[in-house]
């Protein structure tokens, strides 16, 4: 009986090691990161309360599915100015041009009252400006 348990245990360990060591070439490697312009911004409420949380959605157009949202550069200017730039990743996969629009969001939770100005990079020297009044 001990020998059967030992052989079964050895078979399980061998199976785990074999599956853990198989090469998986079904993934794509990120080759680079670059800015992507924000085409539009959706703010549900332009007035909100202190400490409330609001999702601000941004939309960008990607030229293929080998590109996608990587992250934001969210810079605090003065106390109530925010500059937002979106970044995309570019993979090394085989791609055909197939544009799509991606939606992403920032959660904004103000700590003080006032008028907050958001500037979203729209390509070149262009910006989309939105304001939120916090009461």
DSSP string, 13-44: HHHHHHHHT--------EEEEEEE---EEEES
**CB-based contact 75:82 (threshold 8 Å):** yes
Phi, psi for residue 20 in degrees, rounded to 5: -75, -25
Domains of the chain: 28-134 (2.60.40)
pLDDT of residue 4: 47
**CB-based contact 46:96 (threshold 8 Å):** no
| Residue ranges in the chain whose pLDDT is less than 50 | 2, 4-6
**pLDDT digit string, tens, across residues 112-122:** 999 999 999 99
pLDDT of residue 114: 97
């Amino acid at each position: 009986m001990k020998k059967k348990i030992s052989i079964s245990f050895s078979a399980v360990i061998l199976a785990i090691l074999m599956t853990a060591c198989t090469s998986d070439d079904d993934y794509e490697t990120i080759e680079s990161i670059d800015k992507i312009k924000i085409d539009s911004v959706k703010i549900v409420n332009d007035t909100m309360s202190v400490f409330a949380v609001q999702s601000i959605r941004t939309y960008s157009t990607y030229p293929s599915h080998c590109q996608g949202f990587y992250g934001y550069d969210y810079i605090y200017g003065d106390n109530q100015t925010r500059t937002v730039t979106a970044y995309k990743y570019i993979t090394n996969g085989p791609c055909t041009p197939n544009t799509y629009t991606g939606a992403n969001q920032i959660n904004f939770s103000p700590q003080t009252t006032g008028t907050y100005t958001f500037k979203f990079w729209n390509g070149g020297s262009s910006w989309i400006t939105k304001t939120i009044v916090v009461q």
